[in-house]
């Protein structure tokens, strides 16, 4: 190996804890055209998403930690050193009611967030989806 110091952190030190900012910056949002009503809702939902991640990091969400959110979105408990094969994406959809839950595609690392107009509904939906995802596939 020509430069062992380049790999020292990867092989000898524990990974740094995942933060809300790390997770928020990991995803690239797919947004509607500027000035559209849908874009306004998407921007509001992004603000809800970032606020919710901060609450998770601060320990204000029962049974949900930042790593759990990454597992929900990607199936991985930490970001791979070389990154994900495809850039993680943040998509949006119009829910049918105030109980619309977020959806995740772990193969493409895509998180689809429902467009909730208020933070309380968004937070409730996110917490339910992430907290219950650990039992998916278990009978």
User: Which residue numbers are catalytic?
Assistant: 107
Measure CA of the first residue to CA of the last residue in the chain; give whole Å. Answer: 47
**Distance between CA 106 and CA 110 in Å, rounded?**
7
């Amino acid at each position: 190996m020509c430069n062992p110091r380049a790999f020292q952190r990867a092989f000898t030190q524990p990974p740094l804890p995942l933060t809300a900012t790390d997770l928020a910056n990991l995803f690239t949002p797919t947004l509607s055209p500027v000035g559209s009503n849908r874009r306004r809702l998407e921007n509001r939902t992004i603000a809800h998403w970032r606020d919710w991640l901060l609450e998770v990091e601060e320990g204000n969400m029962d049974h949900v930690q930042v790593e759990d959110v990454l597992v929900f979105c990607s199936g991985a408990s930490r970001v791979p050193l070389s990154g994900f094969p495809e850039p993680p994406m943040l998509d949006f959809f119009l829910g049918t009611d105030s109980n619309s839950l977020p959806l995740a595609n772990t193969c493409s690392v895509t998180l689809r967030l429902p467009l909730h107009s208020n933070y309380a509904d968004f937070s409730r939906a996110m917490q339910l989806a992430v907290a219950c995802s650990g039992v998916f596939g278990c009978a």
